[in-house]
Amino acid sequence: MRVTYQGETGAYGEMAVYKFFGNKVEPVPCKDFKDVFESVKNNEVPNGVVPIENSIEGSINQNYDHFIAYNLKVCGEVAVKLAHVLITNPQTKFEDIETVYSHPQAIGQCRKYLEKHNNWETIPAYDTAGSVKIIKEKHLLNAAAIASEKAADLYNMKIVARDIADNSYNYTRFLVLSHEDAAPTGDDKTSVIFSAKHAPGSLYNALGEFATRNINLTRIESRPTKTTAWQYNFYLDFEGHRTEKRCAEALQALEKYAVFVKILGSYPRVI
């Protein structure tokens, strides 16, 4: 099976692919998150994997927006522990480091470590493993990259510092894209997007439909609609499968207080 992800070989997205699908899968790298959605939409691959939130830095907002734009389903979730290391070319000495490349999320997750070396300039890159590729291909002897130990091994680079994240509890949650969601297992989660009506009590009443049915909400996130100023879409995860009676009733009742409701899918609960 071919599964696409954003990043270079050795990226955390590739780790998510292997963790969810097993070692026999063929990971297909893409440069942008949009390319992952496009690949699945156009049936170039049956599945894609995209990050949706990090335990330290929070949401990956770009992918929330893509779920609005694309008519794809979520059929699974997987969590990957991020163990960031500082990587250089083999010839580079630690005292020669002047710049550090990495994905903005990884830079944010290592903020305290980088502040100890405030003479270093941080340069955002499109991917963690991609930042290692950059300093290798450009033969940058005064630069380092923040990525995984696997990325250092793949590119034959040197690890000069380990465990540099601010928090050891550093996980990224990935969602698995498909054209269909998953069948009920008895321990499931459902993701939806809705926009509450612009009226007093709409959001309160909308969430109350879940509370009255004893449905646990595991996440709620708001994002600007980008179509009307000061209007928001809400991204909601709750325990249960959309086909369960109480969940189906809650989703139907939600429509009374919403401008629109989009069910992203139900899938086995991991987190």
| Token couple for 20 | 């969810």
Rounded to whole angstroms, the Cα distance separating 24 from 27 reads: 9
Take residue 179 and report the two structure tokens written for it: 């054209």
H-type helices in the chain, by residue range? 12-21, 33-41, 61-69, 104-109, 111-115, 128-137, 149-154, 202-211, 245-254
Task: Give catalytic residue positions.
Answer: 172, 174
First CA to last CA distance, the chain: 25
How many helices (H) does the chain have, and how many strands (E)?
9, 15
CA–CA distance, 178 with 13 (Å, rounded to integer): 16
Q: For residue 18, give the 3-state DSSP assignment.
A: helix
Burial of 90 (0-12, 13-18, 19+ CB in 10 A): exposed
Torsion angle, alpha carbons of 81, 128, 264, 187, to 10: -10
Query: β-strands 143-147, 85-88: how paired?
Result: antiparallel
